[in-house]
Amino acid sequence: MSFPARMAQALEARRAAAGWRQRRLVTHNDTRTLEVEGKSYRHFSSNDYLGLSQHPAVIAGWRQGAPGAGASGHVTGYSRCHAELESQLADWLGYSRALLFISGFAANQAVVHLLAQKQDRLIADRLAHASLLDAASHTPAELRRFHHNNVDSLTQRLASSCSGETLVITEGIFSMDGDSAPLAAIAAATRRADGWLLVDDAHGIGVVGEQGRGSCWQQDVRPDLLVVTFGKAFGVSGAALLCDDATADYFLQFSRHLIYSTAMPPAQASALLAALGEIQRGDALRQRLQDNIQRFRTGAAGLPWSLMPSASAIQPLIVGENGAALALSQRLAQAGCWVSAIRPPTVPPGTARLRITLTAAHRPDDIDALLEALHDAAGE
């Protein structure tokens, strides 16, 4: 089948399954509200959990750096801002080293691609992020998946023999279900099997744990490899790998993602330094977020859709079929609330959902307006 025919067939199948993805032009976004095509909405699809993308200190930090690094960090792209950010992240999270990446996707790809060799095995949570599973499936190592957050399932897979190394892969808080991994039990099972543990804490860092240090700190776990991303609670973008000295040196020498990619702009690193300071002082923001989560969950009782048992900023409302999820999303938009419908293949078939995200920027009346719209839609 030719490329054009193959693409046409895939696109038609996507349309037929009510799975068509569409970008919308956003003309204003302050985390609390969103303007799309001239209409304003209360915004419930942002990962900016603490509202730091709008913080004056973060904006001022961005203005203090150059807009482009100009080269890879291995050439001339490694500035004082980059070095200071790496140092502060490592100190804050209790690691010897931190290495910056341009995105969380790139960091996850880099870690898995570089470490996994033919005789090794990768054992990943079934619901791990696409960046992790894609990377794992494109390595020569064996990929096995354990049932979501099921330590017994992980232990069974660890019990089989392996002639190489073992890397266990999970997340701190899962992006589509909003639930937390039992990291302490996963870490213990991994240690018993002499494996390494990789945790992607994109949705936990900044939000949970002392000073927002994340899921691992909250559960008193120190994984061998910790990836934190900056596009959520930090309100910017990018990512970092936290590890020991030898691992950092190995990545600096052999990671193609680091060697052959332009470094993040110094302005971005400067903004991230400001965001880190706000996160460390951000107990009031985290409390406001928790209050909003509780207000929503209390008010959502009695809705006909299944609200997943999430204590995080991610509150998934399972609708079921793709068309129904889209219809509910559109109904909420008519009521002035922007909530994206998430459909397969991002989530399993039959579990299309509204991925409601709450932030510290929301006010009580925003939460109440969303709840009113949901209850109205349920009544219809």
Q: What is the CATH number of the domain that holds 231?
A: 3.40.640.10
Is the pLDDT at 143 greater than 90, yes or no?
A: yes
Out of 43, 46, 47, 79, pick the active-site residue. Answer: 47
Is the pLDDT at 152 greater than 90, yes or no?
A: yes
Taking residues 26-42, what's their average pLDDT? 94
Q: pLDDT over 90 for what percent of the chain?
A: 91
Determine if residue 362 is labeled as part of a ligand binding site: no
Question: In this structure, is residue 15 part of a structural domain?
Answer: no
Is the pLDDT at 380 greater than 90, yes or no?
A: no
Determine whether 310 is an active site residue: no
Determine if residue 138 is labeled as part of a ligand binding site: no
Q: What is the CATH number of the domain that holds 39?
A: 3.90.1150.10
Residue 19 has a pLDDT of 82
Encoded amino acid at 67, one letter: P
Is the pLDDT at 67 greater than 90, yes or no?
A: no
CB contact at 8 A, 42 and 336: yes
How far is the C-alpha of 238 from the C-alpha of 100, rounded, in Å?
7
Determine if residue 21 is labeled as part of a ligand binding site: yes
Residue 118 has a pLDDT of 93
Question: In this structure, is residue 4 part of a structural domain?
Answer: no
Determine whether 200 is an active site residue: yes
Question: In this structure, is residue 90 part of a structural domain?
Answer: yes
Determine if residue 357 is labeled as part of a ligand binding site: no
Residue 21 has a pLDDT of 86
Residues 329, 224, single domain; the answer is: no
Residues 345, 264, single domain; the answer is: no
Give residue-wise pLDDT tens across range 70-83. 899 898 989 999 99
- Residue 265: domain span: 54-280
Determine whether 203 is an active site residue: yes
Where among 254, 280, 306 does a domain terminate?
Answer: 280
Is the pLDDT at 190 greater than 90, yes or no?
A: yes
Residues 294, 249, single domain; the answer is: no
Is the pLDDT at 175 greater than 90, yes or no?
A: yes
Residues 184, 39, single domain; the answer is: no
Domain count, the chain: 2
Determine if residue 359 is labeled as part of a ligand binding site: no
Determine if residue 139 is labeled as part of a ligand binding site: no
C-alpha 173 chain-centroid distance: 8
Residues 28, 117, single domain; the answer is: no
Strands (E), the chain: 26-29, 33-36, 39-43, 97-101, 121-125, 142-146, 166-171, 196-200, 225-229, 239-243, 306-307, 314-320, 337-338, 341-342, 352-357
Residues 239, 139, single domain; the answer is: yes
Determine whether 147 is an active site residue: no
Question: In this structure, is residue 250 part of a structural domain?
Answer: yes
Out of 171, 201, 278, 366, pick the active-site residue. Answer: 171
Question: In this structure, is residue 265 part of a structural domain?
Answer: yes
Encoded amino acid at 380, one letter: E
Determine whether 232 is an active site residue: yes
Where among 262, 280, 298 does a domain terminate?
Answer: 280
Where among 252, 280, 308 does a domain terminate?
Answer: 280
Out of 43, 129, 257, 362, pick the active-site residue. Answer: 129
Is the pLDDT at 231 greater than 90, yes or no?
A: yes
Is the pLDDT at 370 greater than 90, yes or no?
A: yes
Residues 25, 174, single domain; the answer is: no
Residue 98 has a pLDDT of 98
Out of 48, 200, 201, 366, pick the active-site residue. Answer: 200
Taking residues 243-249, what's their average pLDDT? 98
Give residue-wise pLDDT tens across range 354-367. 999 999 999 999 99
Residue 18 has a pLDDT of 83
> In the Cβ-directed half-sphere of 279, how many Cα atoms lie within 13 Å?
32
Out of 53, 108, 175, 329, pick the active-site residue. Answer: 175
Residues 335, 256, single domain; the answer is: no
Determine if residue 55 is labeled as part of a ligand binding site: no
Taking residues 256-273, what's their average pLDDT? 95
CB contact at 8 A, 102 and 238: yes
Residues 174, 267, single domain; the answer is: yes
Residues 240, 126, single domain; the answer is: yes
Residues 70, 162, single domain; the answer is: yes
Question: In this structure, is residue 11 part of a structural domain?
Answer: no
Determine whether 148 is an active site residue: no
Strands (E), 157-294: 166-171, 196-200, 225-229, 239-243
3-state secondary structure of 61: helix
With cut-offs at 50, 70 and 90, classify the pLDDT of residue 161: confident
How far is the C-alpha of 105 from the C-alpha of 147, rounded, in Å?
23
Residue 31 has a pLDDT of 95
Determine if residue 203 is labeled as part of a ligand binding site: yes
Residue 17 has a pLDDT of 84
What tokens were used for 285? 């923001």
3-state helix, strand, coil in the chain (%, to 5): 40, 20, 40
Question: In this structure, is residue 12 part of a structural domain?
Answer: no
Taking residues 271-295, what's their average pLDDT? 98
Residue 146 has a pLDDT of 98
Determine whether 257 is an active site residue: no
Question: In this structure, is residue 13 part of a structural domain?
Answer: no
Is the pLDDT at 24 greater than 90, yes or no?
A: no
Residues 41, 121, single domain; the answer is: no
With cut-offs at 50, 70 and 90, classify the pLDDT of residue 110: very high
Residue 52 has a pLDDT of 98
CB contact at 8 A, 54 and 318: no
